[in-house]
Structures are given as C-alpha cells and as structure tokens.
Amino acid sequence: MNEKLEKTQDIFLEKISHICSEFGLNNIMAQLYAILYFSNNPLSLDDMCERLKISKGSVSVNIRMLERYGVVRRVWVKGSRRDYYAGEKDISKVIIDRLKSMAQRRISEIDNMLKAVYDEIDSVDPQNGEEKEDARAFKERVDALKNLHHKAQTLVKLFNSGLLNNFLGTGSKIKQKEEVLLSE
Amino acid sequence: MNEKLEKTQDIFLEKISHICSEFGLNNIMAQLYAILYFSNNPLSLDDMCERLKISKGSVSVNIRMLERYGVVRRVWVKGSRRDYYAGEKDISKVIIDRLKSMAQRRISEIDNMLKAVYDEIDSVDPQNGEEKEDARAFKERVDALKNLHHKAQTLVKLFNSGLLNNFLGTGSKIKQKEEVLLSE
DNA sequence: TTTAGCATTTAGAACGTTCTAAACGTTATG
DNA sequence: CATAACGTTTAGAACGTTCTAAATGCTAAA
C-alpha cells in the first residue's frame, strides 16, 4: 500500500479506536473493523496482524466478536486455506444496529432492576413516622424512574420502527471486490 | 434507616452502578448520585462513606466530579462545618443533560478526526493504478462517513432544540427537605 | 498416516484504573 | 496560639482487562 495513504489511515485508526472505546468496542475491534471498511479486498488474519502489528491471538478473538456483532463476515477465497474477512460497507447500518442493540440491552437491564426492586419494596415494614416517610419517598422516586423508563422505551420503539433508518439513510453504493477474488 | 428499606435500596445500587458504568460513570459516582437521589436530606461526606462503606478520599473525588457534571450540588447546613450535598431530583433532566453532553463530545471528536484526515488526504500521491484505486476508495469511504456524521449532527440538533425534553417531560414534583435543614 | 499450514486457546505479563489509608492543608474555635 | 474538625491529595495496593507468545487442535494435502 502507498506509504502516505497508510499513514493517513493510521491517523484515522488512532482516533477512531478512542471514539469507539466509549461505545463498548475495544481498540482492536474498532481498528479491525476500520481496516476492513477501508480495504477493497477481504483480509486474512495474517494481513491484519501485519497491518496493525498485533498478535494473531488478538486478531482471532476480536474478529470473531465483530462477526458476532454482524459487522464483518467470513468470506471464502478460492485457492486459499486461510480465512478471509470482509467488513460491512454500509456504515450507517453498522452504527444503527449497534445503537439499537445498546438501547435494547439497557432497557432489559433497567426492566430487571425495577422488577427486582418492586419485588422487595412491599416487604419493607416501616416502624415509625420517619421510616414511613423514608419508604414513601423511596417508592415515589422509584415510580418516577419507572415512568421515565417507560417513556424512553416508547421513544426507542419509535426509532426501531424504521425512523432512524429513513433519516440516516441506508444502502451503501460502495462495492466490494470479493466476487473478483472468489474466482481468482 | 429501616433495615429492610436499606436492603431494598442496596439492590438498586448494585444494579444501577452496573448500568451506569456503561455510560461513562463509574460505580461510585453512580451509587453516590443514587443515594442522594433517594435521600430526603442532603448528606455529608461521612454519611456517604458510612452508607456505601468506602473511603473518604473516594467520596471526595467522585462527588466533585458529580458536581462538575451538575447533577449534585453543595448545600449549606446551618450550624455544621461539614459540606453537605443534594442530588438533582429531576432524573429526566440528569439523563437528558448527560446524553446531550455525550453526543456533543462524540461530535467534536469526529469533527476533529475528519479534519485531521482531510488535512493529510491530499498529500497522498499514488504511484500506480492500484495505489490510485486504493486512494480513491479511501476517499470515498471517508466521504461516506462525513456524510453520515453530518446527518447525525442534524438529528442531534433537532433533539437539542427541546424535542427530547418535551417528550420525556421535565419538572419533578419531588420536593427536597433542604430548606428545613438550612434553618435547623 | 504423516506433515504442513492454518486457527484457536491458554498462561502469564503488562497495563491502566481505582480503591484505601495516611499525610497534609485549611479553617474555626477555645 | 494550640487544637480539633474538617476536606483534599498522594503513594501504593488491588483489581480487572487485554495483550503476547507458546501450546494445542484441526484439516487438507502428500
């Protein structure tokens, strides 16, 4: 690869890994996806080790995570025993999927929490006036949370019904070369 | 405090800290905010150490973080030399503010990244056909990112213009007791 | 059946983060 | 001025995370 282009990509890699780390993707997953996103060809594990200067074990583990997230996929290259991977080229799809699954996860966690709290809350048996007030205040605040959570859930459902996809627009025009490679 | 109520709150604390840790708040900040949110009275550093069984140093550092985020504030209690803190009781305000500042931060980071990449990209000087294609593909994909980022920014602006506040509803009805304490 | 070329798993090293306890600084009070 | 009652800072311990290198497992070809 052109040396200056590689340097330019490195600038990207450095920054994107930092950004993604705050979205629950670690450095390596972010950088792996980035080089696949930029690459015209699917890459093998060894290609990726070489490009990012990291061990094969790391690439192996992290690339499978990305596969589970559905943002890269294994492609077969005729005439090679290696596994090759290609990145999803429709970046808006990747991001929307990720946001959706994060939202869904948060919703479940909060559902579980509220359920657990409500299971306990009734067995609280206040002994005096002050304790009664404490219990009442606690319930009031948990109810406020439940209320807010319900509204947030409605909002998420609205987005999931395609609103976000329509706005951010999906359907990449970027074409892969993998078909060419497959018959190489 | 009523023992059973405390146990119920503990269930909440355990879960909420896990949830918040994925939003860039650590355990302690999450739990500190939670006990202040639930408490009818402002609490001192020592109160919080005692309640969460953690060191004073930790409380000191983390409570000031929360103060910077604007979700707790120091209140003065007449007749005491201690610092007391009260949590913002309008939970939707806290969450909306946090989401907004996260979004704003991501936007700046991506702006910076794109700027840095575009600064470099023109100096790439492809030497042959393959390198030319690589460079073209790279530019195409960075442009796609820029495009998506622009749309996302528009969406965020839409939310910031009050849409989210209207939907999630702001204005808590929960009253603090601090006025009482201040004249104690 | 053996070997070569892979991917995967694992044990341990390196790292960053965040806790605690103790030292420290500051302010009010007697 | 000395002391007590605070909050803050710091040095180091404990912890989880994630990397690497080596061992292992698998599969295809000879």
Residues 6+ apart with CB under 8 A from A65: A29
Beta bridge partners of B116: none
Kindly list the distances between the CA atom of residue B169 and the CA atoms of A54, B118, B123, in Å, as whole numbers in the listed order. Answer: 48, 41, 50
What would the mean pLDDT of A118-124 be, rounded to a whole number? Answer: 91
Residues in chain B: 184
pLDDT in tens, B130-177: 899 999 999 999 999 999 999 999 999 988 888 777 877 765 555 554
Q: Using an 8 Å Cβ cutoff, are A76 and A84 in contact? A: yes
* Residues A120-140, mean pLDDT to the nearest whole number: 91
B3 vs A178: which has the higher pLDDT: B3
Beta-carbon contacts of A19 under 8 Å, excluding residues fewer than 6 positions away, are: A30, B106, B109, B110, B113
How many whole angstroms separate alpha carbon B172 and alpha carbon A144? Answer: 9
Closest CA to A83 of A91, A74, A92: A74
CATH 3.90.1150.10 fits A3-88, yes or no: no
Question: Does residue A181 carry a pLDDT above 50?
Answer: no
User: In this predicted structure, what is the pLDDT of residue B6?
Assistant: 92
How far does the CA of B60 sit from the C1' of C21, in Å?
Answer: 14
pLDDT of residue A176: 53
pLDDT exceeds 90 at position A159: no
Residues contacting residue A157 through CB under 8 Å, at least 6 positions apart? none
Q: Smallest Cα–C1' distance to nucleotide C4: which residue has it?
A: A81
User: Tell me, what's the pLDDT at A173?
Assistant: 56
Between CA B12 and CA A91 the distance in angstroms is 37
Instruction: Return the pLDDT at B175.
Output: 53
* List of chain A residues whose C-beta atoms are within 8 Å of the C-beta of residue B151: 167-169
Quick one: pLDDT band at residue A115, thresholds 50, 70, 90?
A: very high
Between CA B85 and CA B62 the distance in angstroms is 12
Q: Which of residues 7-46 of B touch A (CB under 8 A)?
A: 7-9, 11-12, 15-16, 18-19, 22, 24, 37-38, 40
* A62: closest CA of chain B, how far (Å): 20
Report d(CA A52, CA A29) in Å as an integer.
11
Instruction: Check pLDDT > 90 for residue A25.
Output: no
Instruction: Report the nearest residue to nucleotide D19, CA vs C1'.
Output: A58
Q: Which of residues 96-155 of A touch B (CB under 8 A)?
A: 106, 109-110, 112-113, 116-117, 120-121, 123-127, 131, 133-135, 137-138, 140-142, 144-145, 148, 151-152, 155
Single-letter residue type at B128:
N
Query: Does the structure show a pLDDT above 70 at B178?
Result: no
